[in-house]
Amino acid sequence: MKKRVLITGGAGFIGSHLCARLLRENNDVLCVDNFYTGSRSNVAELAHQSAFELLRHDVSFPLYVEVDEIYNLACPASPVHYQRDPVQTTKTSVMGAINMLGLAKRLRIPVLQASTSEVYGDPDVHPQPEAYRGRVSITGPRACYDEGKRCAETLFFDYQRQHRLPIRVARIFNTYGPHMHPQDGRVVSNFIIQALTGEPITLYGDGSQTRSFCYVDDLVEGLVRLMAMDQGLEAPVNLGNPVEITIAELAHRIIDLCGSGSAIVYRPLPQDDPTQRCPDIGRAQNLLHWTPKVALDDGLKRTIAYFEALLAGPGGTVSPLLRAAS
């Protein structure tokens, strides 16, 4: 059955891929974004479709629309962006959740919250299962995002208990792919741009810290399956790739895939940066029958091709956005 789906943060990295996926499945899509980090270019190829509508709006203010489902993805997700205006980051997470939950309550429809692995902080349990309560600094520079997302989860489960609202909460681990913002400061985009432009690869710490990287198509598949669940959801669900890699190994892999001669330079590790991050995806496997399928090298090749095209720009000129990031 055709549905009208609201995606907040729909012009962002993950949101734009979700918009495209739901349009391919013959849904009407209302993409809402304030373009703080999202970009019209991410959804430019969708704009000609009659089933697609783009609305500029900040979710920290109420929104009055008629839809059948809500994916709440609105919030800057990289430290560079969410630390630029930390008060607004917290407002986006908390007020955005309240406003989307209020809309879902009025319409009696399912609403999905894009939470984050950052709710686990710098974990002392590895890999991280959903039952782990986290080790998060509530006063550090990352707290605006970490605690904002934790509060949003609280609101979602309180709305479920108090109003019997059909909710879904996805804890998203590191995701990468085309449409990543070239200036978001995240490790995959940073390394690729530096490798393609011949700049030194900036490695924070000694490179022994670990992450796991999920390609965006796999992540979107998990979100769609989570929304489609018939039964109620009693707990969050981790969505990420359980294959772990050190940041140093990632740097060398990207250098090789780009055919780059970039050297590696070391910088101090940022405050509260986690030393390990890897999901336990047992719940997603059992509930959603979901496991990531795209191997890291394959996903990196697709992402490198995207940034190569950005670097070339129209007519072979260097994209201003990418030039500023290099």
Convert the pLDDT of each residue in 142-171 to its tens digit. Answer: 999 999 999 999 999 999 999 999 999 999
* pLDDT tens readout for residues 198-251: 999 999 889 999 999 999 999 999 999 999 998 778 899 999 999 999 999 999
Higher per-residue confidence, 200 vs 1: 200
> Which pLDDT does position 258 carry in this prediction?
97
> Which pLDDT does position 320 carry in this prediction?
46
Which tokens in the block code for residue 261?
């001669």
| Cross-strand bridge partners of residue 111 | 70, 167
Contact criterion met (CB below 8 Å) for 118 and 174: no
Would you name the residues annotated as active-site residues?
145
Which tokens in the block code for residue 9?
């943060």
pLDDT at 173 over 70: yes
* pLDDT tens readout for residues 246-301: 999 999 999 999 999 999 999 988 877 778 889 999 999 999 999 999 999 999 99
Which tokens in the block code for residue 255?
């250098």
* pLDDT tens readout for residues 36-48: 999 999 999 999 9
Dihedral through CA 293, CA 183, CA 113, CA 25, nearest 10?
A: -50
Q: Which domains does the chain have, with CATH numbers?
A: 4-180+214-242+273-293 (3.40.50.720)
* DSSP strand pairing (167-172 vs 210-212): unpaired
Written in H, E and C, the secondary structure of the chain is CCCEEEEECCCCHHHHHHHHHHHHCCCEEEEEECCCCCCHHHHHHHCCCCCEEEEECCCCCCCCCCCCEEEECCCCCCHHHHCCCHHHHHHHHHHHHHHHHHHHHHHCCCEEEEEEHHHHECCCCCCECCCCCCECCCCCCCHHHHHHHHHHHHHHHHHHHHHCCCEEEEEECCEECCCCCCCCCCHHHHHHHHHHHCCCEEEECCCCCEEECEEHHHHHHHHHHHHCCCCCCCCCEEECCCCEEEHHHHHHHHHHHHCCCCCEEEECCCCCCCCCCCECCHHHHHHHCCCCCCCHHHHHHHHHHHHHHHHHCHHHCCCHHHHHHC
Contact criterion met (CB below 8 Å) for 235 and 36: no
Residue appearing with tokens 């782990």: 132
> Which pLDDT does position 325 carry in this prediction?
39
* DSSP strand pairing (52-56 vs 28-33): parallel
Burial (CB count <10 Å: 0-12, 13-18, 19+), residue 42: buried
Rounded distance, CA 65 to CA 207, Å? 47
* pLDDT tens readout for residues 104-139: 999 999 999 999 999 999 899 999 999 999 999 999
* DSSP strand pairing (214-215 vs 69-72): unpaired
